[in-house]
Amino acid sequence: MFGIADYGAFVAAIVLFLAIPGPGNLALITSTSKGGVRGGLAATLGVIAGDQVLMWMAVAGVAALLAAYPAAFTAVQWLGAAYLAWLGWKMLTAKPGNKPVLNIKPHHFFQQALTITLLNPKAIVFYMAFFPLFVDPAKHQGLITFGAMAATVAVLTFLYGLTAVLLTHFLAERMRANPVIARTLEKLAGIFLIGFGIKLAISK
């Protein structure tokens, strides 16, 4: 299919990677809890947009450029780590009545999720290594093949994000009656974000 070897396995692998906990999933959940379905969907579109940028940067060989200039890769890596840790600290230290760390306006949710996604340079390397695994050398069609892969990732991400947003919204409606639970979850989210930032900073 469009030069993609074992399309079913490609789809299964993407779904598996989407389900792995990470900053993107946390952005979807937090955005939905703060801004409802609109906020969650805006964050989903932000993740999709960020992924598309990273995928095409990988196709263009940006991963090779970063490998040739380790200092550039390290700088972006630390920038991403600092941003995630800053978000986590803001959530961890937020007090009742403070403005939410994530603004409730949908376009801010989009920007927040987009920034979190783009500030993960490891994703470029991942796509650079992942895509060739499913390219059929005999039937490869160049940009058409990579375009089909990118479109598949976008569609699966949207469907996954929509499911996560609706489930989160359903649960959030039942938790709003208990503000203690909401504050506890916000603190946990902050801790996880700081953890993601540290992991990104120290990963090799």
pLDDT at 54: 86
Encode pLDDT of 150-162 as tens digits. Answer: 899 999 999 999 9
d(CA 18, CA 44) in angstroms, rounded, equals 12
Pick 137 or 177 by higher pLDDT.
137
Non-local (6+) Cβ contacts of 85 within 8 A are 193, 194, 197, 198
Overall pTM > 0.75: no
Residue 40, Cβ density class (10 Å: 0-12 exposed, 13-18 middle, ≥19 buried): buried
Comparing CA positions, the residue from 62, 50, 54, 52 lying closest to residue 111 is: 50
pLDDT tens across 51-91, in order? 898 888 877 776 666 667 777 766 766 776 777 677 778 77
Residue with tokens 């991942």: 126
Q: Which residue has the higher pLDDT, 130 or 62?
A: 130
Give me the pLDDT at residue 103, please. 47
**Percentage, residues of the chain above pLDDT 90:** 6
Helix (H, G, I), strand (E, B) or coil at 188: helix
Give the mean model confidence (pLDDT) for residues 30-55: 86
Read off φ and ψ for residue 4, nearest 5 degrees.
Answer: -95, 120
Band (pLDDT 50/70/90 cuts) for residue 104 is very low
Q: What angle do CA 189, 12, 124 make, to 5 degrees?
A: 60
The owner of tokens 């993960």 is 120
